[in-house]
Structure 1
Amino acid sequence: MIKIYKKYGYPILLVINALLLYVYLFKAKVIPLGWDTQFHLNRIEELYRSIQTGHVFSSTGTYTFSSIGLAINRFYPYLFLYLFAILRFIFNPIIAYNLGCFILTFASLFISYFSVRSLIKSNKTAFLFSIIYNNSGYLLLQISMRGDIAEYIALILLPLIFVGYKKLFTSSYQWLWLPLGMILVCYTHILSVVLFTFFLLCLFVLEYTKITLLVIKRLLISIGITAVFCLPLLVTMLRARSRTSVIIPIVPDVLINEALSPSNLLLNSLNNASPNNLLDVNLGLVVTIVSVFGILVFKSKNQNLINLECLGIFFVVLSTNIFPWFVFQNTPMNVIQFSWRFLGLATLCFSLVFAKLCSTKTNWIISMVWLITCMISFTYMHQYIYNSQSVQKIDNISLYRKIATNAVYTDYMPSGALNGMNKSKVFRSRLNIHKHVANVNGKNIQLSEKNIVPKYNSIQYRFNGLKKGKVNKIILPVLNYGENHSVSGIKVKPSANGETVITFVPKRSTQVIDIYVK
């Protein structure tokens, strides 16, 4: 029994940890709608329905996002959404989504564990890192109130990338984990590639004395491998943007106003608060405690740990309005949108430092750390599921189908779609196109659902009351990125605001029109 515990004790505790995080979610049989949950549910449903019709790749926003041809999945990678789409074929959509998130958390706990174990060669250190990192406020936020599974997956891969980077300086071939991790992140969340690259650059600067020709060679090979494997994705995105300019993701305010107040960050972290708004994002109680404990590292002579603790503090500062973000408002730095994204990097740094410092403690103490950490995160998830009155919950299939198909977004629309509008005020507003308002020969008509049939990369419309034998002009409520087309002599072109204009001469007053979107 003792031998079994020594060999499998930590993995068993990690499994229990994952189950505790999701037990109430499975019991409640709901999907709480976080800030970005609907966005990702629509992406999953688009992929699911595409596969259902016999296609491998996702359709161009014809089934979901209000069926207006919004090319979200052209600009936003969806590799890991196949997990959710496949589960959707096996289970009802509510169970499928929650089970998919559980599998990701389960995988994250073990990726963290085995990644750090390969670097430190210590089961205790790897276990401590895994439970601290995966029960942190910032990672739990991604699967709760924020509902951003893309960034969550990127954070799952961050330990793998970090270990791959550290292996650049050794004789091990595990440095190949670096390009592997970056490729997977690239196919998950492009913005995280930018953040993680910045993190690695900071590490590279701090460890410049260790740089050799071999390290540089491996780094260049890593960059080359990543570039080659990510090229198809980049070509798809660039090709889509070359046809017409698009609206980049909109942030309601300037960078400095989206940065966290240091006092709010501290209080919300100590309270282990589930954020109600974007300015309540925090580290969580567990990571706040270990970050303070990590200060002890400055008494040691371990420069690697000192560097990590300093970087953790630096990233926390970057997340707040102490840093002069207003200076970078009109620079490429504004692509990060929210400076609190740096808390994910800080979480990794603090977790690694704490895990290493406590690796010499007894199994009893480590078990207590696990128990307390699990209790805190267990309570966090319970409060989020049952006590968040402001959070809408999907509790039946009918509501799921509605929520998972009618999301309203203006991100990645053709740039003309919001001409004359305040982008920051209307970026989540239902415009006429979302309401399926068509302009038929100069008259606005709201199309009913029975007159719109979404298909793979096409939408079928049915019109009545057309001018038989004469030229008819219709502005359809479907976005046009420059390559929409039809058949039967119907001429198609984009309108000034990015919608689709068709002209044709019908033989009857009623006609069915197929628009193929790209």
Structure 2
Amino acid sequence: MKIIIYNIFFKEMIEVNAKYKRIFGIHLVFLVIVSIATYIDFKSNYIISGFDTFFHVERVYEIRSAFKAGSFPGWLNFMTFHHVGQAINGMYPDISLWPLVYITNKLNPIHQVIIIRSLILILTFFVSYISISKRFDKENASYVSAIYALSGMCLRSFNSELQLGTAIILIFLFPIVFNVKDIIYSEKVDIRLILNMALLCTVVIYSHLMSIFVLYVIVGISIIVRLICHKKIYPIINMLMSSLFLTATSLPILYRYYIISKAGIQPAYSKGNVATVKFIDIFSSAEWSSRASLSIVTIILLFIVISNFRVKKVNLLLPYLYGEIILIVLGTNLAPWSILQNMPLFDSIQNTGWRFIIFSGAIPFILLLVNFSEKSSRKILKILFIIAILTSVNEYYSFHGSARKNMAIFSGDNNKILGAEDWVRLKSTGINSDKLTRDIIPDYAPNQIDSKVFANGSTLSDDLQNRIRYNQVKMNGKNVTTTKEYTYEGISFNFNNIKSASSIELPVYGYKTLNYHVTVNGKNVPYTISNLGFIELNNIRKIKNVKIEYLYPKMYKYIIYFSTIIILILSGISIFYFRSTKYKYI
């Protein structure tokens, strides 16, 4: 009898060891793929840049410069975006990037972006694995995490088009999906759900402002339906309590957004004119690493689940199916966007695919794991894992091979002006080059430039573009030659001993609600804001140097400290509840 028991015990031990070896193997394969790609990019010493990649690389450069100066990152961009002090970093949430920038700040700027990009993909894999493995088989969780990270927008942001805010949210997409589902179907006041929701929403609002609105729209629709159809009040209570905590944790973003917006600023482009994706296009335009359409992996998984739908598991499947349906409806022309785009906040969605379809990649994996047994799921996932490896590696080498043949190196020394649609191999010295035009945008500039904004809010007039690109200083209405110097907190212009001027209009945006420190030859002088939103000086004599500096209000620093303490407290409590609570439902 003892021999039989020992045999059974050792057999189980062997099976467990074999399983963990397979899990380790999956993790190792994923890390090797990412490490090799990172090493190649690191040695190349450039990143392939086009479209929004320029935008996000410059944001990192601005944060980097502030940390190197021993300060919290500022609200205005003086190091980048042609040094006009545009409120890009102030209006575009960046706090989730701070830790990643801080720990990589000893690298050169391009190496820093390469490592940040890789860290985000690795975090996506491990956070997804931890979240999924709490509810499903660990080996299957490993396969899902690897396939998810090597496809869709996760792969796209790593490989071709950098979208840092979205990429950070995608790190936590599985925890968000699970927590949203649990809170929508909650039957009591649940502290664990409330705290987790607040913390996850904090990550979202620290990364991308419109994404928190999208998340609340999805949750709002769901809990209203639950209230009307099932008279369930607890989802609303839990969500309201979570929102109270979120208000405290997100104060730094809300505070700077309020102060800058109060000045009167240009919206992000295409406000009130939302581009909608046709329903058929999310399938016909599908790619392995899609952005505005469903990824091929998502379509495969949905087809497998729907064609093999387990009616016995319908109660477990429906909550996730409803979530995917909401994303697809709101992400396409199935929703009445001709009406919605005229409503506040909805008018700033820009593109339905970017805002909704982009987050549709997690739920199909959960549907697969719920619908099939562990063994059946594993067979499907093994095949998809192999396909994911081959396809992602092929996409990487194809894209980078094409770039080496067809894209020029851009280091900032080039004479050619880069057009808004141009792609290049960007070096560190090209990040804040005056030859860029993709970063000359109306977004968040003072309202006074309104007459110079065209093409649905995406383009400035040629004369204003030239004014910004060449940092033209106007003295008594005429351009004068100056040299400029800039830091993360301001810019200075050196003049050739000008005796006097009745007016000097500097190529630096002035926001009415912000207080600037302006000096001429080291002495404080008053300033006004011109009819184009630029800082203007009047009746100045003996001009050698003009310096403009801006630092955020002192209160902002204390708000950051306060919110950080709240986050740490909530995290501590959440971890306590997480350890003492077992998941009773999928």
Could you tell me which of 69, 77, 80 is aligned with 2:93?
77
Q: Within the alignment, does 1:93 sit opposite 2:109 as a pair?
A: yes
Distance 1:17 1:203 in 2: 35
Overall identity of the aligned pairs, in %: 20
Could you say which residue in structure 2 is the equivalent of 1:41? 57
Pairing partner for 2:323 from 294, 300, 311: 311
Q: What secondary structure does 1:432 align onto?
A: helix
1:392 — aligned with what?
Answer: 423
Conserved 8 A contact 1:297-1:306: no
* 1:123 aligned partner: 138
Q: How does 1:15-414 map to 2 (within 5 A)?
A: 15-21=28-34, 23-24=36-37, 26-28=39-41, 29=44, 30-58=46-74, 60-118=76-134, 120-168=135-183, 169=186, 174-175=192-193, 176-205=195-224, 207-208=226-227, 215-242=235-262, 244-251=263-270, 254-255=273-274, 258-269=275-286, 272=288, 281-295=292-306, 296-297=308-309, 299-332=311-344, 333-340=346-353, 341-361=355-375, 363=378, 365-387=380-402, 389=406, 392-394=423-425, 396-400=427-431, 402=433, 407-414=439-446
Instruction: Find the aligned partners of 2:17 and 2:531 in 1 and give their Cα distance.
Output: 69
Residue identity opposite 1:384 in structure 2: F
Deviation at 1:420, TM superposition (A): 4.7
TM-aligned CA deviation for residue 13 of structure 1 = 1.3
User: Aligned match of 1:497 in 520, 525, 532?
Assistant: 532
Partners of 2:434 and 2:129 in 1: how far apart?
A: 36
Cα shift readout 1:372-403 (whole Å, capped 9, x = no counterpart): 22222222333333336577343543334538
Contact 1:128 1:355 in 2 (8 A): no
1:439 and 2:474 correspond = yes
Aligned-partner residue type, residue 437 of structure 1:
Q
User: How far does the alpha carbon of each residue in 1:139-172 deviate from its partner, in whole angstroms, 9 at most, with x for none?
Assistant: 3233344321111111222222222334443787
SS in 2 for 1:89: coil
The CA deviation string for residues 199-242 of structure 1, in whole angstroms up to 9 with x for no partner, is 22344345557776655543332111111111232012101122
Give the ranges of 4+ consecutive aligned residues of structure 1 lying more than 6 Å apart after TM superposition.
403-406
Question: For residues 264 and 385 of structure 1, what CA distance do their matches in structure 2 show?
Answer: 27
Note the C-alpha offset of 1:102: 1.0
SS of corresponding position for 2:250: helix
Could you tell me how far apart the structure 2 residues matched to 1:54 and 1:282 are?
42
Q: Tell me the amino acid that sits aligned with residue 67 of structure 2.
A: I
Q: Would the alpha carbon gap of residues 97 and 139 (structure 1) be closer, same or farther in structure 2, given more than 3 Å must change?
A: same
Q: Is the 8 A contact 2:518 2:549 kept in 1?
A: yes
One-letter code aligned to 2:528? K
How far 1:300 sits from its partner (Å)?
A: 3.8
8 Å CA contact 1:435–1:446 kept in 2: the answer is no
**1:131/1:170 Cα in 2 relative to 1: closer, same or farther (>3 Å)?**
farther
Deviation at 1:253, TM superposition (A): 8.9
Could you report, residue by residue, the CA deviation over 1:288-326 in whole angstroms, capped at 9, with x for unpaired residues? 111212213363442231232243244224333344322
- The number of aligned residues is 501
**Whole-angstrom distance in 2 between the partners of 1:212 and 1:284:** 34
164-173 or 108-117: bigger deviation? 164-173
Consecutive unaligned residues in structure 2, runs of 5 or more: 1-13, 408-421, 552-586
Q: TM-score under structure 1 normalisation?
A: 0.87
1:424 match: secondary structure: coil
Bigger CA drift: 473-482 or 166-175? 166-175
Equivalent position SS for 2:266? coil
Q: CA deviation at 1:99?
A: 1.3
> Following the alignment from structure 1 to structure 2, what is the Cα–Cα distance between the partners of residues 59 and 310?
39
**TM-aligned CA distance change 1:338 to 1:182, over 3 Å:** same
Q: Please tell me the residue identity of whatever aligns with 1:436.
A: N
Letter in 1 for 2:285: N
Letter matched to residue 236 of structure 1: R
Please tell me whether the aligned partners of residues 316 and 343 of structure 1 are also in contact (alpha carbons under 8 angstroms): yes
Contact map agreement 2:446 2:510 (CA 8 A) in 1: yes
Q: Distance in 1 between matches of 2:364 and 2:302?
A: 5
Distance 1:284 1:456, change over 3 A: closer
| Mapped contact 1:157–1:181 kept (Cα < 8 A) | yes
The one-letter amino acid of 1:13's match is I
Q: Which residue of 1 aligns with 2:416?
A: none
Note if contact 2:517-2:550 (Cα within 8 Å) is conserved in structure 1: yes
1:92, distance to aligned residue in structure 2 (A): 2.6
Amino acid at match of 1:418: D
Q: Is the 8 A contact 2:272 2:348 kept in 1?
A: no
Q: Aligned to 1:481, which of 502, 506, 511?
A: 511
Q: Once structures 1 and 2 are overlaid, which stretch shifts more, 206-215 or 364-373?
A: 206-215
Q: Deviations over 1:50-103 (max 9, x none)?
A: 111221233621111110101111111211322443354332322221111111
Give the direction of change, closer, same or farther, for the CA distance of 1:107–1:58 in structure 2 (3 Å limit).
same
Q: Which amino acid aligns with 1:371?
A: I
Deviation, structure 1 residue 336 = 1.3
The 1:401–1:73 alpha-carbon spacing in structure 2 relative to 1, beyond 3 Å, is closer
CA pair 233-108 structure 1, distance change in 2 beyond 3 A: same
Deviation string, structure 1 residues 448-499 (Cα, Å, up to 9, x no partner): xxx111124221111125234xx53100000000233324252201111110
Q: Does the 8 Å contact 2:180/2:219 carry over to 1? A: yes
> Residue 130 of structure 1 aligns to which amino acid in structure 2?
S
Please say if residues 124 and 359 of structure 1, whose CA atoms lie closer than 8 Å, have aligned partners that are also in contact.
no
Does the C-alpha gap of structure 1 residues 201 and 216 become closer, same or farther in structure 2, counting only changes over 3 Å? closer
Further displaced range: 78-87 or 348-357: 78-87
- Is residue 458–residue 515 contact of structure 1 (8 Å, CA) maintained in 2? yes
SS of the residue aligned with 1:466? strand
Distance 1:360 1:207 in 2: 31
Deviations 1:104-134 (A, max 9, x none): 111111111211222x243245334423433
Query: How big is the alpha-carbon RMSD for the aligned residues of Structure 1 and Structure 2?
Result: 3.0
Residue type of the alignment partner of 2:480: I
Contact 1:129–1:355 (Cα < 8 Å) also in 2: no
Between the aligned partners of 1:414 and 1:38, the Cα distance in structure 2 is 22
The answer to whether residue 503 in structure 2 is matched with residue 467 in structure 1 is: no
Q: TM-score, normalised by structure 2?
A: 0.77
